[in-house]
């Protein structure tokens, strides 16, 4: 394998990120390796933009036959299907663990439990209801659908770059991404999100402010809470950060 990533490896890294974050079929042959999985994290915001384009197109088609509210609910259902409720599952597991565990060991054990508890159920329902309500009230719905998924997927990269990974690496799906994260690739992902939001801010000036708030505030406060409660982050906590960042951005919009 070459010292510097080639176009082929970057192309595979992008599709590996697609396969990691969504149920969208990977349209490329993947020569899987630990290094390639590390590289794929750069493309998390780009995968979010891809999802945003899909959501926007789906909403446009649905709105021809249904009311805006019904169309938004159906788009959220499409989102849950395309992502396998990946991040929402992380939110529910994180809240169950942090709300029900009194030691780090107990919290991590609850987080690994596939069952969902009261804390997780209530939080998940309220998060989805709030998301639908905020999308329904957005001044520029198309912009919210397009930008929010991309912006939100930058937050877990900041958490991975600043916190320690605390889950047993042999039992976690996120370990290959978390291991050996590159600062240069983080900066590239940040640059991509800022260029995207800077371009879209022509239609909504608050987008840049909302982006900074969504990413930095969630990374700061959620990250500090995770460090205090767990000593670092887990894969579920990263998923939760995506949902939280989306909600903060939508609040600003």
- Residue 37, pLDDT above cutoff 70: yes
| Residue 3 included in any domain | no
Domain carrying residue 240: 49-252
Q: Tell me the pLDDT tens digit for each residue of 61-120.
A: 999 999 999 999 999 999 999 999 999 999 999 999 999 888 999 999 999 888 899 999
User: What percentage of the chain reaches a pLDDT higher than 70?
Assistant: 92
Intra-chain end-to-end CA distance of the chain, in Å: 44
Domain total for the chain? 1
- Residue 217, pLDDT above cutoff 80: yes
Give the residue-averaged pLDDT of 220-228.
Answer: 96
What is the chain's percent helix, strand, coil content, to nearest 5? 75, 0, 25
User: What whole-number distance in Å separates Cα of residue 72 and Cα of residue 215?
Assistant: 24
8 Å CB contact between 173 and 27: no
User: What whole-number distance in Å separates Cα of residue 242 and Cα of residue 233?
Assistant: 13
| Residue 84 included in any domain | yes
Give the residue-averaged pLDDT of 126-150.
Answer: 96
User: What whole-number distance in Å separates Cα of residue 42 and Cα of residue 22?
Assistant: 15
203: which 2 tokens? 């239609």
pLDDT band at 210 (very low <50, low <70, confident <90, very high): very high
| Residue 36 included in any domain | no
Give the residue-averaged pLDDT of 223-239.
Answer: 95
Q: Tell me the pLDDT tens digit for each residue of 141-183.
A: 999 999 999 999 999 999 999 999 997 655 555 555 655 567 8
| Residue 191 included in any domain | yes
| Residue 8 included in any domain | no
- Residue 34, pLDDT above cutoff 90: no
8 Å CB contact between 21 and 47: yes
8 Å CB contact between 241 and 156: yes
| Residue 83 included in any domain | yes
- Residue 204, pLDDT above cutoff 70: yes
| Residue 20 included in any domain | no
43: which 2 tokens? 């493309």
Q: What is the pLDDT of residue 174?
A: 54
Give the residue-averaged pLDDT of 16-32.
Answer: 90
Task: State the residue for tokens 């609850």.
Answer: 110
Is the alpha carbon torsion for 119, 122, 126, 127 positive or negative? positive
User: What whole-number distance in Å separates Cα of residue 151 and Cα of residue 246?
Assistant: 8
Contacts of 166 (CB under 8 A, 6+ apart): 104, 108, 230, 231, 232, 233, 234
User: What whole-number distance in Å separates Cα of residue 158 and Cα of residue 34?
Assistant: 20
Q: What are phi and psi of 30, to 5 degrees?
A: -105, 120
User: What whole-number distance in Å separates Cα of residue 97 and Cα of residue 213?
Assistant: 26
Q: What is the pLDDT of residue 2?
A: 43
Q: What is the pLDDT of residue 178?
A: 54
| Residue 28 included in any domain | no
Q: What is the pLDDT of residue 1?
A: 40
User: What percentage of the chain reaches a pLDDT higher than 90?
Assistant: 75
Q: What is the pLDDT of residue 177?
A: 61
User: What whole-number distance in Å separates Cα of residue 137 and Cα of residue 129?
Assistant: 12
- Average pLDDT, whole number, for the chain? 91
Q: What is the pLDDT of residue 91?
A: 97
User: What whole-number distance in Å separates Cα of residue 124 and Cα of residue 113?
Assistant: 16
């Amino acid at each position: 394998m070459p010292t510097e990533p080639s176009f082929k490896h970057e192309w595979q890294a992008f599709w590996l990120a697609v396969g990691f974050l969504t149920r969208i079929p990977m349209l490329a042959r993947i020569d899987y390796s630990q290094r390639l999985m590390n590289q794929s994290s750069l493309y998390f915001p780009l995968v979010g933009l891809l999802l945003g384009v899909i959501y926007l197109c789906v909403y446009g088609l649905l709105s021809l036959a249904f009311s805006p509210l019904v169309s938004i609910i159906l788009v959220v259902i499409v989102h849950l299907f395309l992502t396998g409720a990946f991040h929402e599952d992380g939110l529910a597991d994180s809240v169950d663990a942090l709300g029900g565990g009194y030691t780090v060991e107990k919290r991590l054990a609850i987080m690994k439990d596939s069952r969902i508890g009261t804390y997780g159920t209530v939080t998940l329902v309220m998060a989805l209801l709030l998301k639908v309500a905020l999308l329904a009230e957005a001044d520029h719905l198309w912009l919210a659908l397009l930008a929010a998924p991309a912006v939100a997927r930058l937050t877990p990269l900041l958490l991975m770059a600043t916190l320690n990974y605390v889950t047993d690496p042999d039992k976690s799906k996120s370990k290959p991404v978390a291991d050996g994260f590159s600062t240069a690739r983080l900066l590239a992902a940040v640059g991509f999100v800022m260029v995207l939001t800077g371009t879209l801010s022509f239609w909504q000036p608050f987008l840049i402010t909302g982006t900074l708030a969504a990413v930095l505030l969630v990374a700061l406060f959620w990250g500090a809470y995770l460090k205090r409660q767990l000593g670092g982050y887990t894969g579920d906590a990263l998923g939760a950060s995506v949902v939280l960042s989306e909600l903060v951005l939508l609040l600003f919009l």
